[in-house]
Amino acid sequence: MKLLFLSVFSILLLAQCQSGNKPTPQIQTFNTGPGALDMSFNVAGYATFAFVSIGIARDQGQGIALQTDGKVVISGFTYDGTRYRYALIRYQNDGRPDTTWGTDGTVATDVGGFNDQGTDIRQQADGKLVQCGYSSNGTKLRVGVVRYLSNGNLDTTFSGTGKSFVSFSTGDDYCLNETIQPDGKIILLGYSRIGSNTHVSMARLLTNGSLDTSFGNSGIVNTSIGVKAQASGVVLLPNGKILLAGYSTTATLFSQTLLRYNTDGTLDTTFNGVGYTVTPMGSEHFYGNDVALQTDGKALVCGYAKFGSGYDITVTRYNTNGTIDTSYANNGTTIFSVGSGDDKSYRCKLQADGKLVVVGNSQVTGQPSEFLLTRFNTNGSVDTDFGIQGASRLSIGDVNDISYRIALTDDKKILVTGYSTIRGPNTRFATARFFQ
């Protein structure tokens, strides 16, 4: 294992909202203002990590768990030369690996004996960590859930081995996200693939790792919307209902989709009459990736839509009944164009002041993609006080950098994680910290 402490860095910050000419890259002087890199994190404001010291690294960060002592655990996967495995690294508050945890700060888990890809991670109230993803048994992909003790060891009180496997369907199953209820039950979500069709899928586990048979059909929920559908965003409502964000298609175009379920896993038909709402974007693809809940119950969904030859970031606000809140931005949706190439958002978090922070990647045409952070005001307008005109971009590797997850710390900082590509095919965990 090798950690790269990088002191030479560059961050490009630029933004352009709605339509018009794309701006040229600008360099921002580093400070402690909103959107600036926090240089107290690993000196450079970011850290990269490769789980292998020789050969090609194929590592990606996919999830973040903040711990009460200020440490952070990053979830993802690594390639050991034979197969992919779940992977974790824990950083101290200063961005250095916590070498007292796991093996020199890392944990790599062979989950199913074949290829495994870890995605999200959550911390339970008792400090244990729950990592989800998907795992092959040699025949099909299943949902794989692993629970760790606070020291990084497997928790064998969870399903007897520390590992639990769930099949959404008879086809391949993908777990993209999870959340933990106040009672400790674990909700897993993603999609299942049967033939050429995909379905929004969920499962709920009891605290011991077994399926909660009071939820859906013996613990499993599959929802078919059109030909293809999947969900990657989740939020629990105060009344226990479950709100999912994703996308679906009934023909050739994908449309942003928001679904609401009752506590027993049935669709909540008081939500848009059928339990879900499908939002098209004219004749273009429109993807929903994550959802955040305002204090008034309205939901913000981030994603991206195709306009012409490229993609732009989108944020849409929905009323509690599933209709679009047309008082937000431009008839309910804000569209943000940053680079001259593709701009995509994958996750979002609401700050205490109601502003929405969105993470993803941005690209200047012909150039590698970069980490991207953007922030929106409560009315949907771009917060021009953040970064440069609402956006912060970070270039780490010499090829593509993609940021997938975001977390907000109690001391008003923003953690993002994903991967950085260095020297061609080599990808490694990449984690950065910014000021709110």
Host domain of residue 2: 1-63+281-436
Tokens describing residue 47: 């850290």
Question: Across the beta sheet with 299-307, what order do the strands follow?
Answer: 16-17, 333-337, 310-318, 299-307, 286-293
Residue 358 domain-assigned (yes or no): yes
Residue 428 domain-assigned (yes or no): yes
Residue 73 domain-assigned (yes or no): no
Residue 424 domain-assigned (yes or no): yes
Q: Where are the beta strands (DSSP E) in 195-298?
A: 197-205, 220-223, 228-236, 242-249, 254-261, 276-279, 286-293
Report pLDDT for 30: 53
**What count of residues does the chain have?**
436
Residue 40 domain-assigned (yes or no): yes
Condensed to tens digits (0 to 9), the pLDDT of residues 180-235 reads: 999 999 999 999 998 889 999 999 999 999 999 999 999 999 999 999 999 999 99
Report whether 361 contacts 339 (CB < 8 A). no
How many whole angstroms separate alpha carbon 410 and alpha carbon 169? 39
Closest C-alpha to 257, from 266, 246, 249: 246
- For residue 301, count CB atoms less than 10 angstroms from its CB and return exposed for 0-12, middle for 13-18, buried for 19 or more: buried
pTM: 0.92
Closest C-alpha to 264, from 208, 222, 219, 206: 219
Residue 434 domain-assigned (yes or no): yes
Per DSSP, the three-state class of 380 is coil
Binning the chain into helix, strand and coil, the percentages to the nearest 5 are 0, 55, 45
How many whole angstroms separate alpha carbon 381 and alpha carbon 427? 34
Closest C-alpha to 58, from 359, 420, 431, 432: 420
Condensed to tens digits (0 to 9), the pLDDT of residues 135-151 reads: 999 999 999 999 999 99
Condensed to tens digits (0 to 9), the pLDDT of residues 288-313 reads: 999 999 999 999 999 999 998 899 99
Beta pairing class for 242-249 and 254-261: antiparallel
Residue 321 domain-assigned (yes or no): yes
In single-letter form, the type of residue at position 159 comes to: S
Residue 96 domain-assigned (yes or no): no
Work out how many domains the chain is built from and give that number: 1
How many whole angstroms separate alpha carbon 184 and alpha carbon 39? 36
What residues contact 10, with CB distance under 8 A and at least 6 apart?
27, 395
How does residue 55 score in pLDDT terms, banded at 50, 70 and 90?
low
Report pLDDT for 20: 33
Give the N- to C-terminal CA distance of the chain in Å, as an integer: 32
**Residue given tokens 């593709």 in the structure block:** 342
| Mean pLDDT score across all residues of the chain | 92
Condensed to tens digits (0 to 9), the pLDDT of residues 33-44 reads: 999 999 999 999
How many whole angstroms separate alpha carbon 291 and alpha carbon 350? 10
Rounded to the nearest 10°, the torsion over CA 254, 255, 256, 257 is: -100
